[in-house]
Homo-oligomer: A and B are copies of this chain.
Amino acid sequence: MRLKTEAKPMSKNPGQDLSRRERQIMEIIYRLGRASASDVEKDLDDAPSYSAVRAHLRILEEKGHLTHEQDGPRYVFLPTVSSDVAGESALRGLLRTFFGGSREQMVAALLDSAQRDLSEDELDRMAKLIDEARKDGR
């Protein structure tokens, strides 16, 4: 019996110890929130065989990145680390790699890449967020 999902302890920087496909699959699952093997397969542009996808899911679970629930006849996989936490962590990575640690520069890039599709409302809400951060700070 080796179905016990013996999750190894995870590294501080999740995603660093993932192979190419594994990362690709984790992204899909984070984006979807939860997904079965066939969900993942459908979402993959260059999907290999169904078998291959399942193998990756199994390994990701062994590595402790995923867990699964039984949903009727099939498995539905979910991340073990919440989207929030993983997102923040990933954000910190980018911050360091591309923006020299400057959150300001990062926001600038974010706004810059948006331009066309940022509504007045959305900007308002962002401004409010920053304002609140300011209050919390002091």
Contact = CB atoms under 8 A, between A and B. Distances in A.
A109 B84 contact: yes
Contact-size category for A:
35 or more
A13 B110 CA distance: 17
- Binding site secondary structure of chain A: helix
B125 A104 contact: yes
A96 to B, nearest CB: 7
- Number of copies of this chain in the oligomer? 2
B113 A133 contact: no
A8 interface: no
Contact of A111 (B90, B111, B133): B133
Contact of A130 (B97, B103, B127): B127
21 contacts: A27-B93, A30-B97, A87-B99, A87-B106, A88-B112, A91-B98, A94-B94, A103-B111, A103-B114, A103-B122, A103-B126, A107-B110, A107-B130, A111-B133, A115-B136, A118-B133, A118-B137, A120-B138, A123-B133, A126-B130, A127-B130
